[in-house]
Amino acid sequence: MSDSIIKVYGALRMTVKIFLMWNSKMLIDGGEDSTVATSWLEASNLVVLKESSVIQSNANLGVHGQGLLNLSGSGDKIQAQRLVLSLFYSIHVGPGSVLRGPLEDASSYAITPKLYCELQDCPIELLHPPEDCNVNSSLSFTLQICRVEDITVEGLIKGSVVHFHRARTISVQSSGIISASGMGCIGGVGKGNFLDNGIGSGGGHGGKGGLGCYNSSCVGGGNSYGNSKLPCELGSGSGNESSADSIAGGGIIVMGSVEHPLSSLSVEGSVRADGEGFAETVWQYKNFLSNVSSIAPGGGSGGTVLLFLHTMTLGESAILSSVGGYGSPKGGGGGGGGRIHFHWSNIPTGDVYQPIARVKGSVYARGGLGRDESGSGENGTVTGKACPKGLYGTFCVECPVGTYKNVSGSDSSLCQPCPAWELPHRAIYIAVRGGIAETPCPYKCISDRYHMPNCYTALEELIYTFGGPWLFCLLLVGLLILLALVLSVARMKFVGVDELPGPAPTQHGSQIDHSFPFLESLNEVMYWKRTELRNHRVMCTECILWVLILSVNLGICPTRLQKK
């Protein structure tokens, strides 16, 4: 359809193969009768909106298909009080286009989704949603995208309770926004308090709301509530619900479920569930200026961002937030921060570990600022699923080098320092894929000249093989002394004999001619023994001195070699 307007009063049932809209509008008025308030549009192939085309219902609307849903650009909208998009293989929300549920300015007779503002229990469908993807007014969702493989967001997706169920990948481009900001409760469990003169404090949620003060009169902020480990609560507001100046808290954004986590989330733009701040709209600001006597309320508390997923990437410009809103200029307290939780699925460990999150952008859950005498809201919570051994933190990263973690949990204090006595003097700790789960912590020697496991040199390994420096030195000195003695005896036996004088020649005709040599005196024997013994002692002393000098110079003696 092109340049056309279709108005439907009641419920719509439409089935087509291809549905193309060019500068056209389809306006569905469901009336006040809830029994005929649900409309269906089914396309077996393509649904394409171009040139500011609009599909709108003031009741429940389901859009189903089997192909591509494409909102091409600025002005293209699909919006309803409760909107369900399902069964497409891909949805593309182009720059400037909008998916919204509920309507921004709904009429008084429009069917308004009921929010569970006074309940502290988590609705079961948020954690375990039904598989059929039908529009069901009894469920808490106001905008659901169900059984869609790939979702690309370059425009705006906004709702009070936004749910992505059984999706495979979601990509939020730099111009894309997924928002539940200011779409929560005006009252709520942590509603900000106010006095008759209009002084209002901030709403509470993940953190307590800030004090509201004016002319020394103060009122306490809203209480914190909810479960930081698995949050699923709407943010609370501030002010009188019957007043036009009342402030709403943040809504809920849920991606995936316990049984069907999201495979991959990539964010370059923003995902927000912030509390509403006073005078964020032109209407509120003009109304405040025109009514000088009015004292507006505090800021709304942040809502909930609950992510069930395998992996996530936050780019440098990405923002993931659930912050409290600002209080009024005349003393409104700041809203408390909301809650953000990453429920990781199947965290890899050990040798198969891969980072599950690459975070360069910003994650906020801070409290909103108060004005004048009032106080700021407390910060909310940013949590992750308990990490297995060796990993810690919201994003389950490896414990720092030199620490180990042998229990399940996410707190950084669980990464304990490795025992110092287990690390050799010439070693340093090394990083291990998947972190270190048990002691001893792995290390390596500081140089290749040292050998594992004790980081000794080859000579030191030999020394400590024989019991350490003292024993090795004594053993070496003993061996050298024994060698010196053996050499000395050998010298006496083989060298001394060659130095003995030969037999004296005999004179012819003497009586001792042709006789054996003989000693003329015993003094000759005693003199020879004393000379050889003195020479032997001198030689042994010299050998021992040379052994000791050699040992010291080689660094073997304990005076110079000690265990390190």
Domain boundaries defined on the chain: 22-105+116-179, 187-250+275-281+295-385, 397-455, 463-493+524-564
Q: Which residues contact 27 (CB under 8 A, 6 or more apart)?
A: 5, 6, 7, 8, 54, 56, 57
Which of 7, 125, 11 has the alpha carbon at shortest distance from 60? 11
Q: Which whole number is the average pLDDT over 519-532?
A: 50
Which of 238, 250, 111, 97 has the alpha carbon at shortest distance from 183? 250
Look at the chain and count its residues: 564
Residue 562 reports pLDDT greater than 50: no
SS3 (DSSP) at 218: strand
How many helices (H) and strands (E) are present in the chain, helices listed first? Answer: 5, 32
Choice among 124-138, 180-194, 419-433, 460-474 with the minimum mean pLDDT: 460-474
Tell me which H or E stretch contains 208.
none
pLDDT (tens digit, 9 = 90+) per residue, 370-399? 877 778 999 999 999 999 999 999 999 999
Which region, left, alpha or beta, applies to residue 550 given φ > 0 means left and ψ of -120 to 50 means alpha? alpha
pLDDT value for 98? 96
Tell me which H or E stretch contains 416.
strand 416-417
Question: How far is residue 209's CA from residue 341's CA, in Å, rounded to a whole number?
Answer: 20
- Give 114's pLDDT tier (boundaries 50, 70, 90): confident
Torsion angle (degrees, nearest 10) of CA 82, 88, 92, 93: -10
Mean per-residue pLDDT over the chain, rounded: 84
Token pair listed for 65: 């298909």
pLDDT (tens digit, 9 = 90+) per residue, 43-76? 988 999 999 999 999 889 999 998 999 999 899 9
pLDDT value for 442? 93
Q: Are strands 177-179 and 443-445 parallel, antiparallel or unpaired?
A: unpaired
Q: What are phi and psi for residue 22, nearest 5 degrees?
A: -130, 110
Question: How far is residue 51's CA from residue 142's CA, in Å, rounded to a whole number?
Answer: 26
Choice among 106-115, 377-386, 409-418 with the minimum mean pLDDT: 106-115
pLDDT value for 433? 92
Residue 561 reports pLDDT greater than 50: no
Token pair listed for 489: 């005896």
Residue 122 reports pLDDT greater than 90: no
In DSSP terms, 100 is beta-bridged to: 79, 158
Residue 346's Cβ-side half-sphere holds a number of Cα atoms within 13 Å equal to 10
Token pair listed for 538: 């001198």
Q: Which whole number is the average pLDDT over 349-378?
A: 90
Choice among 85-89, 117-121, 277-281, 339-343 with the minimum mean pLDDT: 277-281
In DSSP terms, 271 is beta-bridged to: 178, 320
- Give 314's pLDDT tier (boundaries 50, 70, 90): very high
Token pair listed for 248: 């709403």
Question: How far is residue 381's CA from residue 510's CA, in Å, rounded to a whole number?
Answer: 127
Query: Quick check: 92 and 114 in contact, CB under 8 A?
Result: no
pLDDT (tens digit, 9 = 90+) per residue, 417-444? 999 899 998 999 999 999 999 999 999 9
Query: Quick check: 125 and 63 in contact, CB under 8 A?
Result: no
- Give 343's pLDDT tier (boundaries 50, 70, 90): very high
Q: Which whole number is the average pLDDT over 181-199?
A: 86
Cα Rg, the chain, nearest whole Å = 44
What separation, in Å, do the N-terminal and C-terminal C-alpha atoms of the chain show? 86
Q: Which whole number is the average pLDDT over 164-174?
A: 95
